[in-house]
């Protein structure tokens, strides 16, 4: 555990955001075809650097030299199916944080089985919604399941839950309009990966990533006229986000040690 106190605060988020903007970590994203461009722009607006290759002959070099790896299963075609295990092994050998986002595993048993196999390789963090978690591990308590794999959980929904067995943070930021623009959820996973690269406590890093993205989403939704103008407004909000807005908007429902969700 990080030597700092386990506590998500405005100062902690601002510190992590400043570290990200100073160090410009590169996040290698194996993500779905629909999300690639938007995810890259989100990372650039935030202050990180994206790389996106899925070619099996070069993905190991990209993943091992990146500061974090995102694996998103949104379009699990043959090229990505071959590249993902290669990238995961390379990132593990280089001791880089890895986030697994098993998009739509609740719609495909083949994809669900593939995601379970990836979890056996012990990624740093699993990002899911509640339907995806239920498909992966029916009738099991999420944090107990992930303790077997040594993974942090970031479970999204009307209320977001981040943590591990014994340490949880519940968050309430976000806006419904985010769900009306494709790839916002996938890009949110990349934001978490970026903060995993600069914040040594992975639970805090995940909570920072969720908070930063959702606060920017609230700001963007207030400025947008609808889904068409939300995307550029979200990029601007991420680029301009500062401590004043974070302090004003941060909605921590609960955080505690010794808790299970």
Please report whether residue 159 resides in a domain: yes
What mean pLDDT do residues 145-158 have?
92
- Structural domain that includes position 245: 10-255
Q: pLDDT at residue 116 above 90? A: yes
Please report whether residue 261 resides in a domain: no
What does the block give as tokens for 146? 């992930």
- State the alpha helices, DSSP H only, in the chain: 10-23, 36-46, 59-65, 78-93, 109-119, 130-136, 142-147, 184-196, 202-223, 227-240, 243-249
Q: pLDDT at residue 261 above 50? A: no
Question: 3 CB contacts (<8 Å, ≥6 apart)?
Answer: none
Order of strands, edge to edge, in the sheet holding 167-171? Answer: 49-51, 26-30, 68-72, 98-101, 125-129, 152-156, 160-164, 167-171, 252-257
What pLDDT score was predicted for residue 258? 65
User: Among 128, 91, 89, 98, which Cα is nearest to 111's?
Assistant: 128
User: Among 146, 116, 117, 142, which Cα is nearest to 131's?
Assistant: 142
pTM for the model stands at 0.95
Please report whether residue 17 resides in a domain: yes
What mean pLDDT do residues 125-145 have?
92
pLDDT band at 1 (very low <50, low <70, confident <90, very high): very low
pLDDT band at 4 (very low <50, low <70, confident <90, very high): low
Per-residue pLDDT tens digits for 156-169? 999 999 999 889 99
Per-residue pLDDT tens digits for 12-70? 999 999 999 999 999 999 999 999 999 999 999 999 999 999 999 999 999 999 999 99
Please report whether residue 24 resides in a domain: yes
How many domains is the chain built from?
A: 1
The answer to whether 205 and 164 are in contact (CB under 8 A) is no
What mean pLDDT do residues 206-217 have?
98
Work out the mean pLDDT of the chain and round it to a whole number.
95
Q: pLDDT at residue 242 above 90? A: yes
- The SS3 of residue 204 is helix
Please report whether residue 3 resides in a domain: no
User: Among 245, 99, 115, 109, which Cα is nearest to 185's?
Assistant: 99
pLDDT band at 259 (very low <50, low <70, confident <90, very high): very low
Per-residue pLDDT tens digits for 231-241? 999 999 999 99
Residue percentage of the chain with pLDDT more than 70: 97
What pLDDT score was predicted for residue 25? 98
Please report whether residue 5 resides in a domain: no
Q: Which of 74-78, 82-86, 141-145, 207-211 is the least confident region?
A: 141-145
CATH number at residue 220: 3.40.1190.20
Q: pLDDT at residue 252 above 90? A: yes
Please report whether residue 2 resides in a domain: no
């Amino acid at each position: 555990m990080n030597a700092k106190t386990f506590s998500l605060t405005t100062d902690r988020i601002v510190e992590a955001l400043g570290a990200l903007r100073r160090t410009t970590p590169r996040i290698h994203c194996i993500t779905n075809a629909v999300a690639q461009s938007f995810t890259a722009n989100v990372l650039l607006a935030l202050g990180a650097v994206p790389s996106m290759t899925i070619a099996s002959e070069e993905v190991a070099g990209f993943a091992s030299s990146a500061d974090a790896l995102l694996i998103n299963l949104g379009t699990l075609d043959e090229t990505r199916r071959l590249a993902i295990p290669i990238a995961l092994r390379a990132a593990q050998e280089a001791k880089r944080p890895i986030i697994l986002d098993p998009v739509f595993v609740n719609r495909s048993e083949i994809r669900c089985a593939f995601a379970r196999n990836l979890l056996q390789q012990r990624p740093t963090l699993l990002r899911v919604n509640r339907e995806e978690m239920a498909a992966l591990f029916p009738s099991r308590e999420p944090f107990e399941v992930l303790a077997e794999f040594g993974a942090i959980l970031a479970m999204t929904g009307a209320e977001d839950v981040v943590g591990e067995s014994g340490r949880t943070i519940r968050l309430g930021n976000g806006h419904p309009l985010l769900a009306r623009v494709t790839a916002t959820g996938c890009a949110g996973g990349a934001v978490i990966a970026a903060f995993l690269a600069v914040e040594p406590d992975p639970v805090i890093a995940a909570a920072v990533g969720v908070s930063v993205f959702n606060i920017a989403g609230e700001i963007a939704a207030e400025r947008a006229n609808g889904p068409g103008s939300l995307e550029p407004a979200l990029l601007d909000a991420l680029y301009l986000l500062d401590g004043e807005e974070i302090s004003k908007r941060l909605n921590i429902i609960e955080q505690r040690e010794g808790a299970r969700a």
